[in-house]
Amino acid sequence: MSAATWGLLVATFAACFVEMVEAATIVMAMGFTRSWRSAFAGTGAAVVALAIVTTFAGYAITSWLPDSALQLVIGGLLLIFGLQWLRKAVLRSSGRKSMHDEDEIYRDEVELARAAGDVGSGLDMFSFIVSFKGVFLEGMEVVFIVITFGLNADNVPVAVVGAAAAVVVVVSIAFAARKPLSMIPENLLKYGVGIMLASFGTFWSVEGIGIFRSGRESVEWPGNDAALLVLIASWFLLSRLFIAVLRTPAPPATPDRAIEEYAK
């Protein structure tokens, strides 16, 4: 297997892994607090809905849209997702936002589930809808990531394998741990995936702007696909620069700490 194929596999695996951890936290909160049957039913319904949306959207965008429009729409969405992740990573690394904490999210979901009232004997609609929404929202991002990375590398099957492997691994860990997956270095993973999504999104959305000219040909980057490597390096360096500029000063020493420092 070539280095490019491994790169595609690792990129889709990491991106989908992070999304699946978030979905698993929501489903586990509903299952442990209210009803496993309803949480799994919501998850199953979301997977079916995702398959239907992917089939129709995939057919529509590859059959009806010119290449440049496809690049603009998917690239624009990837760019929005990627920059949202990168923004959070920059704010967290510079000390301006608390770290993503799966335990805390789990506690919030459990609190909401308890506040929603008693669970009846039939299908618990609260668990069903919350699980459905969580899995569908996170799953839609996975669909976009797989389509984009796969099409760009001209190897959708490998991208699908990367995503499917991530689902299997997350479900296995969740099943074995039976608790929120806070042991996973999610902040670091999100930072890396944010850089990848921002780079692919920048590349594709700029290419797709060509839809607005008479021939509708995509805009060409200097160096074509090699420009992607430059974009990845640029987004990484820029994010480090933003972190350095935005870093908050360390909290002032408390009187006790100042005395300890003085005594040293």
Partner 1 sequence: MRAIRAFGQFWYDFIIGDDWKIAVAVVSALAVLAALLVGTSIGDHVLAVLGGVLIVTAFAISLAVDTRPRRSK
Contact residues: partner 1, CB under 8 A: 72, 76-77, 79-80, 83-84, 86-87, 90-91, 96, 133, 137, 140-141, 202, 205-207, 209-210, 212-213, 219-222, 227, 231, 234, 238, 242, 246
User: What CA–CA distance (Å, rounded) separates 103 from 179?
Assistant: 9
Cβ 223 to partner 1 shortest distance, Å: 9
| Other residues' Cβ atoms within 10 Å of the Cβ of residue 7 | 14
Nearest to 179 by CA among 32, 20, 16: 32
Give residue 176's identity as a one-letter amino acid code: A
Cβ 245 to partner 1 shortest distance, Å: 9
Residue 17, Cβ density class (10 Å: 0-12 exposed, 13-18 middle, ≥19 buried): buried
User: What CA–CA distance (Å, rounded) separates 76 from 204?
Assistant: 8
Nearer to partner 1, 174 or 206 (CB): 206
Locate tokens 């430059």: which residue? Answer: 230
Nearest to 167 by CA among 143, 191, 194: 143
Cβ 231 to partner 1 shortest distance, Å: 7
| Other residues' Cβ atoms within 10 Å of the Cβ of residue 32 | 17
Nearer to partner 1, 222 or 255 (CB): 222
Cβ 167 to partner 1 shortest distance, Å: 19
Nearer to partner 1, 162 or 201 (CB): 201
Angle, helices 186-208/3-33, rounded to nearest 10 degrees: 120
Cβ 117 to partner 1 shortest distance, Å: 20
Q: Which tokens is 34 given?
A: 């209210």
Cβ 221 to partner 1 shortest distance, Å: 4
